[in-house]
Amino acid sequence: MKEKINLLYFEEKVENGNFGDELSRFIISELINKNKYELVFNQPNIEKNIIGIGSYLHAAVNNYYIYGTGIRTNPPVEGSHGYTKLNVCSVRGPITHDFLGKKKIKCQAIYGDPALLLRDLYKPELITNLKDKIAFIPHKSNYNKYLNENKYDKNKFHLINPRQKWSDVVNQIYSCKSTVSSSLHGLIVADAYDKPNVMIYEYELAEGDLKFKDYYTSQKRGYINIKNLEKFQEKFLYKGGNKIDLEKLKDAFPFK
C-alpha cells in the first residue's frame, strides 16, 4: 500500500485557480515517486504533509516538509507561524531562510522556487501569432482593472489572465518575446524559459513585495520594476534567466 503524501497549497475556487498556486500540483506530481507514494491535495489528517510553490509558509505546522515555499509578509500578518520543527528541504530565497533561522528552524541554504523546474518538466506549445508580443500578466487582484480600463497597448502587449489553466498561461509566456508581470510566477516562468522580463508594480499588493525580493535575492538579481506600462523600455528587461542549480533543487525533493 502506497504512503499518502498531502500537498498543502492555496486552492482558489475561482475560474481555474491562480496559475502560480496550481503549478504546485503539477510540479510535485511530476517529482514524486509514484511507485512509493500517493499524492493527495489539501486533505486533513494525513501523516506526511508538504508545502511547495507559493508564499504559504504560514500554513505549515510541526513536522511539515517545506520544498521551495516562502514567507508572504514579515512581520507576518497571516498568523503566528507557530511551528517549532519543520523538515526544510529548500526555500524560495535567503529572506525566508533567515526568517526560519531566527526561529531556530534548521534550514539548508538550498534556494529556488520549484516552478523553475518547469523547463525540465513541461514543454510548452508555441503560439506563433504571439512571437512579437510582450506577455503581460497582472497579479490576480488587479487583472480586471487592466481588462476593464484598457490601460495597455493591445498591439504591443498580450494580456494574460492569471486564473486561466496554468498550462495555457505558461504556453503564452513561452510564446511571447518578453514578459511584464506583477505576478511573481509570471517572472519565474519567464526565467525558467529564458524569456526577458521585468516586474510592474503599478498597484500596491496586499502582501507587499517581500516575496519578489526573496526570489530576486535567490537569483542575485537586481530589484528593478516599472510603475506602469507607459514606462516600459527594453533596457529594463532582465535577460539573465535562471541562475539557480536546478539539479541541486531537484535533489532536495524529499519523496523521490
Angle at 228 between CA 14 and CA 127, to 5 degrees: 60
Residues 81 and 171 in one domain: no
Residues 125 and 231 in one domain: yes
The closest of 53, 73, 180, 165 to 116, measured between CA atoms, is 53
Q: Is the pTM here over 0.85, yes or no?
A: yes
Is 256 part of any domain?
A: no
The CATH number linked to 162 is: 3.40.50
Cβ-based burial of 142 (10 A; exposed 0-12, middle 13-18, buried ≥19) = middle
Distances (CA, A) of 152 to 146, 148, 170, 209: 7, 11, 21, 23
Residues 129 and 110 in one domain: no
- What are the pLDDT digits (tens) for 51-104? 999 999 999 999 999 999 999 999 999 988 999 999 999 999 999 999 999 999
Q: How confident is the model at residue 16 (pLDDT cuts 50, 70, 90)?
A: very high
Residues 96 and 130 in one domain: no
Q: Rounded CA gap, 65 and 59, in Å?
A: 12
Is 32 part of any domain?
A: yes
pLDDT at 195: 98
Distances (CA, A) of 182 to 102, 199, 229, 254: 29, 6, 11, 31
pLDDT at 149: 80
For residue 40, the one-letter residue type is V
Residues 127 and 78 in one domain: no
Q: Rounded CA gap, 11 and 237, in Å?
A: 31
Is 47 part of any domain?
A: yes
pLDDT at 151: 72
Mean pLDDT of the chain: 96
pLDDT at 117: 98
Is 241 part of any domain?
A: no
Q: How confident is the model at residue 148 (pLDDT cuts 50, 70, 90)?
A: confident
| Sheet strands side by side (includes 37-41) | 37-41, 3-8, 48-51, 65-67, 87-90
Q: How confident is the model at residue 152 (pLDDT cuts 50, 70, 90)?
A: confident
Q: How many domains does the chain fold into?
A: 2
Does the pLDDT value for residue 150 go beyond 80?
Answer: no
pLDDT at 31: 98
Question: Which residue range forms the structural domain that includes residue 97?
Answer: 3-118+246-251
